[in-house]
Structure 1
């Protein structure tokens, strides 16, 4: 028997160290060739490290959350034969998953492998969780008995046919201290003393670092504008009815991308990157729109490149392709970098106002809130219109407040008169 040592691979781009995000194996596990051993995180991507050999894991070189130098020992595997005496580095990574600058605050993803939990007190009594509107099976006499005892019947486990709650079930529930006649209680109101500690590592750590960096370095200010999207929604519905079957359905996003492209012709200062260390602003002719996308591992921003050269359906197809790749962890580093301006949307959860965080080194981010129907006064008449807010943020070191307001108002004008999106 011999030992095959896998070292932390050189992932490229001059990276000297990476973070060990998650182990997929433990000491004693048998592994086969090409089996994923660990996930490591660079500044731009999550990378899978596969096994080049069959064997048994005999040692792990680090803990999740640890930053390891390229070339350091990652894992040792016992193999048939002499092993790799040269202790070669791991083979090239087989999959990249994106990491991107967050455009809004997100709820942290719980890394189950890193969670350290204090167990809750043992559940007492024959309690069953039912939906609040679910009616458990029980006779009228049992229901009255439960009411007299102050017991919520939906919390009692039934031992009768088809789960029917019996008088004995109520007595068993009481015997375990779940309820009493003087102080009705349920599991929903029971005291809790459990705690859970979640390590901030991997993707979540990168998101936290990037967000903190963005808010500390850039001088954020936000501007909110209300937009009447009745006409653009009517156009979208018409185009989907006429061409949806052959070209694909259009969401509002490709129209917003088009509006950005047209508005940026008059406001090129918004399509820029600011190198605050070199004190240089780079304005770009190409419009590479980052579209903030939520995935299982955190917020990612895939990039629709050269949006200025795309039709509505071309943009729609690319947005859909990139979003699916990001959600399934298949977006490449190139697909998640190089944006010049970012579009972020909370969709149906968009609320009234949000304050998106800049995607540094960009200087502008446009946030989309949800569409709601509201009564509006149009030419002296109260009518129902579809309204939507744009909540956008800018880097005040580079963008003046008046220019930001005029830019968003230009987008408003384009969306409220959608024919102007296509007038050259």
Structure 2
């Protein structure tokens, strides 16, 4: 019997270390050649490492979340005979060569993190499929001692709104037993207090006490945390928000979809991307990358658009290459393809890097306005928000105005103030507003 030390292989592109994400074996396990041993994460991808030899695992290096250097001991395997140990060495070298050649192309992807983490982000600004999962509700405060039961009141004399009366009826509460906090009118807060004080009478509080839970920040979530912290630490952000009337844009989208034939269905995002790409030549500092260590800003000649996408593993940013060279239908197809690749883990590393500008959206969950975090080393990120219908004053064609229901959407842009001035960011968004409020301009050559 001989001991074979399997060291962390070199995965190429100057990677010096990797984080242990998940062990698939432990000391004492018998493993076969090419068996999946461990998942590690580099700055570029999550990589599956396989065993170069069959044998018994004697020792593994490190716990989940720890970092291991390339060339350091990964695990020790007991093999039969010295010849087997030599064969294992050769197999290990073969695996390292294959991993280096593959350059992470078939590995699970790692994003360039982006956007405020409210989030999920959905590349489709009109699709609710990627809504953010709400976190657990906080545990309620301990119920105080029961309060003295108030003097009964005649139901007819209790002041309360219809909504409060309906809620009390649904809960089986006699409003005459509820003591209002002010001005004699029972409000929802008074019902809440009544429920808390009278839980022993069968009125249970809404929440349930849950035990604290500790979750280690590892893998993709750790990368996101590091990238977000670096972006906020190094970049002086500012955010500009403008309201846009997208009534005509949504009507155009509906017409295009009604006559699309076999082409993919258009969401709002391809139309917005088209607007961004038309304006970038006039605002080159928006589509740029800043190397703050070298003090160099690179204005990109093409728009490689990062598209923030929520996945089960966390936020990823697949990149639409040369977005300015694609028409609406091509953009729609590429958006769908990249989003699916990111979610199912098939996106390649080159599809998750090299973006020059990023768009991030929560779709119908987008809220009134967002302040997205820049995808470093880019200098700007654009965030379309939720479309809402509100009354607006519009020209009546006779020199006056009339009130009309319109579809409105806010567009947020966060910029690196070292590179982009507030005036330029505002001008860019105002031009975006002009294009999407007159959407026929998006279709002209």
Q: Please indicate the TM-score interval, normalised by the length of the shorter structure.
A: 0.7 to 0.9
Whether the 8 Å CA contact 1:272–1:283 is kept in 2: the answer is yes
The DSSP-based 3-state class of the residue aligned with 1:357 is coil
The DSSP-based 3-state class of the residue aligned with 1:39 is strand
The corresponding residue for 1:97 is 109
Q: Residues 187 and 53 from structure 1, CA distance in 2 versus in 1: closer, same or farther, beyond 3 angstroms? A: farther
Q: Measure the CA separation in 1 of the matches of 2:289 and 2:45.
A: 21
Whether the 8 Å CA contact 2:37–2:48 is kept in 1: the answer is yes
The DSSP-based 3-state class of the residue aligned with 1:388 is strand
Relative to structure 2, which stretch is displaced further, 395-404 or 57-66? 57-66
The corresponding residue for 2:67 is 67
Q: Which runs of 5+ in 1 are unaligned?
A: 109-146, 148-179
Matched residue count: 353
Q: Does 1:242 align with 2:254?
A: no
**Deviation, structure 1 residue 78:** 4.1
Whether the 8 Å CA contact 2:59–2:75 is kept in 1: the answer is yes
The corresponding residue for 1:411 is 432
Within the candidate set 396, 403, 416, 1:395 is matched to 416
Q: Does 1:276 align with 2:299?
A: no
1:212-361 aligned within 5 A: 212-243=229-260, 245-361=261-377
The corresponding residue for 2:85 is 84
Q: Measure the CA separation in 1 of the matches of 2:273 and 2:378.
A: 16
Q: CA RMSD in A?
A: 2.4
The corresponding residue for 1:175 is none
Whether the 8 Å CA contact 2:111–2:318 is kept in 1: the answer is no
Within the candidate set 378, 382, 389, 2:403 is matched to 382
The corresponding residue for 1:117 is none
Whether the 8 Å CA contact 1:96–1:330 is kept in 2: the answer is yes
Q: Residues 182 and 395 from structure 1, CA distance in 2 versus in 1: closer, same or farther, beyond 3 angstroms? A: closer
Within the candidate set 351, 372, 380, 1:364 is matched to 380
Whether the 8 Å CA contact 1:36–1:51 is kept in 2: the answer is yes
Q: Does 1:373 align with 2:389?
A: yes
Residue-by-residue CA offset, 1:19-56 (whole Å, 9 max, x unaligned): 11222333344444444322211112222223344444
**Deviation, structure 1 residue 260:** 0.8
Residue-by-residue CA offset, 1:143-182 (whole Å, 9 max, x unaligned): xxxx9xxxxxxxxxxxxxxxxxxxxxxxxxxxxxxxx994
The DSSP-based 3-state class of the residue aligned with 2:411 is strand
Within the candidate set 179, 184, 195, 2:202 is matched to 184
Q: Which runs of 5+ in 2 are unaligned?
A: 100-105, 121-171, 173-197, 396-400
Q: Residues 9 and 239 from structure 1, CA distance in 2 versus in 1: closer, same or farther, beyond 3 angstroms? A: same
**Deviation, structure 1 residue 416:** 1.1
Whether the 8 Å CA contact 1:23–1:39 is kept in 2: the answer is yes
Relative to structure 2, which stretch is displaced further, 358-367 or 96-105? 96-105
Q: Residues 55 and 321 from structure 1, CA distance in 2 versus in 1: closer, same or farther, beyond 3 angstroms? A: farther
Whether the 8 Å CA contact 1:98–1:326 is kept in 2: the answer is no
Q: Measure the CA separation in 2 of the matches of 1:74 and 1:184.
A: 58
Q: Residues 377 and 199 from structure 1, CA distance in 2 versus in 1: closer, same or farther, beyond 3 angstroms? A: same
Relative to structure 2, which stretch is displaced further, 88-97 or 273-282? 88-97
Q: Measure the CA separation in 2 of the matches of 1:273 and 1:182.
A: 62
Whether the 8 Å CA contact 1:98–1:331 is kept in 2: the answer is no
The corresponding residue for 1:113 is none
**Deviation, structure 1 residue 15:** 1.3
Superposition TM-score, scaled by structure 1 size: 0.77
**Deviation, structure 1 residue 77:** 3.5
The corresponding residue for 1:127 is none
**Deviation, structure 1 residue 229:** 1.1
The corresponding residue for 1:14 is 14
Whether the 8 Å CA contact 2:115–2:374 is kept in 1: the answer is yes
**Deviation, structure 1 residue 195:** 1.8
Relative to structure 2, which stretch is displaced further, 219-228 or 367-376? 367-376
